Amino acid sequence: MRAYANAANPSPGHPTLTTARKRPGEFGIAVIIAFSAIVPLHAADPPANLAKRVAQRETETAAERSHYTYTQSVRLQEMDARGSAMGEYRETREVIFSPTGERSERFVGEPASTLKNLIMTEEDFADIRDIQPFVMTTDQLWNYDVDFKGEEPVDVGSGASLSCWVLRIRPKHILSGQRLFDGMLWVKQDDFSVVRSEGQAVPQIVTTKKENLFPRFSTVRKLVNGFWMPSVTSADDTLYFRSGPIREKLVIRYTSYQKFGSDTTITFDKP
């Protein structure tokens, strides 16, 4: 996201998006973990080829998700010094299929913006599409360094938890125009599914003429017909622009998963 040189209201009819750096968080959803300070509960050795097995499972998950329609809603708020929202951007999109099976997106209503200090950029929209719901498939694994950090249970509600491996991943190389993920993955031990991710989109774009900053975020997944798919992305971070810090909150919800061409009712499995 970028910041206006002087606070101004962008045109609500044609919102442009750019954000200052954020920290993970969400209204009413306690998903914040300082990924830089993870303390594994156990120090057992990981299974052989853990990263490859995770990437294989992620590839299967991505392939399965590509056959689903779903709704994605985005709410970005800029906050004042007292923690009150002073402007926001909202949009809702449906991922749909044509009668011939072609997958596409369409807006549900018009995007609406009352942002005063932030401008959404094309990198923000690319991150919403590809980085916040990040899936580390086999064709991406080569470009990431993967470090095993230990084991940690993930709370899934109702007193239940999942035993997970914790992986720290970071890009080896970032080419011009690329958007990549830098952060942590929580991997379910029994089937190598990623059930949670936390980190940020990189790189930050800072030149003498512009700043395009991006928040830290957390994404939790839910079990859909045997696969763990993105459910909620949340962020609550302060972006430090040269013109001054701007705090923003972001919530992205992925709902109404339905397998295309299926004449059966979708099930949201219990873990």
pLDDT digits (tens, 9 = 90+) for 71-110: 999 999 999 989 999 999 999 999 999 877 888 999 999 9
- Whether this prediction's pTM lies above 0.85 is answered by no
> What does the alpha-carbon distance between residue 113 and residue 102 come to, in Å, rounded to a whole number?
30
Does a structural domain hold residue 142? yes
Q: Which domain holds residue 223?
A: 2-259
Residue with tokens 């057992």: 44
Q: What is the per-residue pLDDT across 193-206, written as a single tens digit (0 to 9) for each?
A: 999 999 999 999 99
Residue 43: pLDDT band with limits 50, 70, 90: low
Residue 266, domain member (yes or no)? no
Residue recorded with tokens 């996201």: 1
Number of alpha carbons in the 13 Å side-chain half-sphere of residue 185: 31
Task: Identify the weakest region by mean pLDDT among 44-53, 163-172, 221-230.
Answer: 44-53
In percent, how much of the chain has pLDDT > 90? 72
Which contiguous run of DSSP H or E holds residue 249? strand 244-259
Output the six-digit token pair for 161. 């938890």
In 54-204, which ranges are E strands?
A: 68-79, 85-97, 103-107, 112-113, 118-119, 144-157, 160-171, 180-188, 194-202
Q: Residue 9 above 50 pLDDT?
A: no
Does residue 265 belong to any structural domain of this protein?
Answer: no
Q: What confidence score (pLDDT) does residue 100 get?
A: 78
Whether 271 maps to a domain, the answer reads no
What pLDDT is stored for residue 159 in this prediction?
A: 86
Which two structure tokens, joined as six digits, stand for 93? 């999109």
More confident residue, 11 or 211: 211
User: Can you give the pLDDT at residue 40?
Assistant: 47
**pLDDT band for position 214 (50/70/90)?**
very high
CATH number at residue 140: 2.50.20
Quickly state the pLDDT bin for 229 (edges 50, 70, 90).
very high
- Asked whether the predicted pLDDT for residue 263 surpasses 80, the reply is no
Would you give the DSSP letter of residue 24? S
Amino acid identity of 97?
Answer: F
- pLDDT value of position 57: 98
CA distance 44 to 230: 28
> Over the Cα atoms of the chain, what is R_g?
19
pLDDT of residue 41: 45
| Residue 31 pLDDT grade (very low, low, confident, very high; cuts 50, 70, 90) | very low
Q: Does 268 fall in a domain? A: no
Name the pLDDT band for 6 (thresholds 50, 70, 90): low
**Closest CA relative to residue 171, chosen from 207, 142, 206, 131:** 142
Q: How many structural domains does the chain have?
A: 1
- The whole-angstrom separation of Cα 181 and Cα 200 is 6
- Mean pLDDT in residue range 28-37: 42
Rounded Cα distance between 6 and 243, Å, is: 9
Q: pLDDT tier at 115 (50, 70, 90 boundaries)? A: very high
CA angle centred on 212, ends 19 and 28, rounded to 5°: 25
- 124 lies in some domain: yes
Q: For residue range 47-63, what is the model confidence (pLDDT) as tens digits?
A: 899 999 999 999 999 99
